[in-house]
């Protein structure tokens, strides 16, 4: 079991432990909503919370919350939610019932609930002696699933350096919505002239006309795969439908698609959706969101925040339900305290996972 110094412990039939942890980024991380008018902004640290659940026979499950202020959640709010839990109401043998209890404790808090859900599913799969992807009946195909590698908003000279560092990854994801978007794309292309690129605007463009103009500019590049969340999630659906009908590139809902209940509106407004465990409330909610999207005819992607290998590996177990992966949050940090699924040359793999049941994650480092 990982060291959980400074954590909260409740001595009941199910032992619940949790702690805050600061993930340190290799490069300052900035996206559209964190960039200042002059181009400054971003962060060097991302605060997460690790969770462990252990039952009376010693079976342990682990999870992680990577809260985002975009959804009015922080590490402090996650810890406050976890403090309120009665571990006696949580059971590896009844994940759905346990989640109903979590929803009764407080609304929202999806990142914290997701951390507990991952720990519950981890423990349940370990008891069954299976990897989570087999426990859920999904399977996992090696050498099939490729993740993109994200390049945050920065100065053009830094963009060049980041792209060089990411040379092994076959697909890049470029954050836009800053003052130097044209220069940044040009800098990327100086290093990787024809590499496939996904673009994420993080709600940057406020009108449908601005969004269409920007997407038309991006389409002229010739190697852009799609554009994530071009406009705010609060945009009038009529404007998003207008944009979808005219966009020369597929548009993907991210901030617009939190969980399966958003599927009908997103099917009208987007070609694809980005599912994240921290938005959907863990593995169970993410699986439901992916399956609902596929049933509605939407393309799917599994995405992430800045996360450790706990959350990234948890998401990787759902890879068979996706068309695209953006599971690189752990690759952007220098102090990941766990080891799980790998991503050499961008290919997600469980072949070298340190555990063969449950999540497949163990405390340690490959660095």
Query: Both 196 and 308 in a single domain?
Result: yes
Domain count across the chain: 2
CATH number at residue 120: 3.30.390.10
| Domain assignment present for 144 | no
Residue 46 lies in a domain: yes
Give the range of the structural domain holding residue 258, as residue numbers without chain letter: 149-363
Chain-centre distance of CA 49, in angstroms?
A: 15
Residues of the chain with pLDDT under 70: 1-12, 34-40, 366-367
Residue ending a domain, among 103, 130, 157, is 130
Pairing of strands 8-10, 15-29: antiparallel
Asked whether residue 203 is assigned to any structural domain, the reply reads yes
Same domain, 224 and 342: yes
Each residue's pLDDT tens digit, 204-260: 999 999 999 999 999 999 999 999 999 999 999 999 999 999 999 999 999 999 999
Q: What Rg value do the Cα atoms of the chain yield, rounded?
A: 20
Quick check: 120 and 95 in contact, CB under 8 A?
yes
**264 within a domain of the structure (yes/no):** yes
Q: What is this structure's pTM?
A: 0.94
* CA 315 – CA 235 distance, rounded (Å): 28
| Per-residue model confidence as pLDDT tens digits over 44-60 | 999 999 999 999 999 99
23 and 125 in a single domain? The answer is yes
């Amino acid at each position: 079991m990982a060291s959980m110094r400074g954590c909260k412990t409740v001595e009941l039939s199910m032992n619940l432990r949790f702690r805050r942890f600061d993930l340190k980024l290799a490069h300052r991380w900035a996206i559209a909503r964190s960039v200042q008018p002059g181009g400054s902004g971003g962060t060097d640290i991302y605060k997460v919370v690790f969770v462990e659940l252990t039952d009376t026979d010693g079976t342990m499950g682990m999870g992680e919350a990577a809260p985002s202020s975009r959804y009015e959640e922080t590490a402090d709010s996650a810890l406050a939610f976890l403090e309120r839990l009665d571990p006696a109401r949580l059971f590896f043998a009844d994940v759905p019932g346990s989640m109903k209890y979590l929803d009764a404790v407080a609304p929202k808090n999806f990142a914290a609930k997701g951390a507990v859900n991952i720990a519950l599913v981890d423990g349940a799969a370990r008891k069954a002696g299976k990897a989570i992807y087999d426990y859920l009946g999904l399977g996992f195909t090696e050498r099939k699933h490729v993740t993109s590698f994200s390049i945050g908003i920065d100065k053009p000279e830094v963009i060049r350096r980041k792209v060089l560092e990411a040379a092994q990854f076959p697909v890049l994801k470029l954050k836009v919505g800053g003052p130097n978007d044209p220069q940044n794309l040009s800098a990327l292309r100086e290093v990787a002239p024809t590499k496939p690129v996904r673009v994420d605007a993080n709600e940057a463009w406020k009108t449908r006309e601005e969004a269409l103009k920007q997407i038309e500019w991006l389409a002229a590049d010739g190697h852009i795969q799609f554009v994530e969340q071009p406009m705010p999630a609060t945009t009038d659906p009529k404007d998003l439908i207008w944009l979808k009908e005219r966009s020369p590139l597929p548009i993907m809902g991210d901030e617009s698609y939190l969980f399966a209940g958003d599927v009908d509106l997103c099917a009208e407004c987007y070609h694809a959706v980005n599912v994240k465990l921290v938005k959907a409330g863990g593995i169970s909610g993410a699986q439901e969101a992916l399956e609902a999207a596929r049933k509605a005819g939407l393309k799917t992607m599994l995405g992430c925040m800045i996360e450790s290998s706990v959350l990234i590996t948890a998401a990787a177990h759902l890879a068979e339900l996706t068309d695209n992966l953006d599971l690189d949050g752990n690759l952007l940090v220098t102090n990941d305290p766990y080891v799980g699924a790998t991503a050499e040359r961008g290919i997600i793999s469980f072949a070298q996972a340190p555990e063969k049941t449950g999540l497949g994650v163990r405390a340690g480092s490959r660095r």
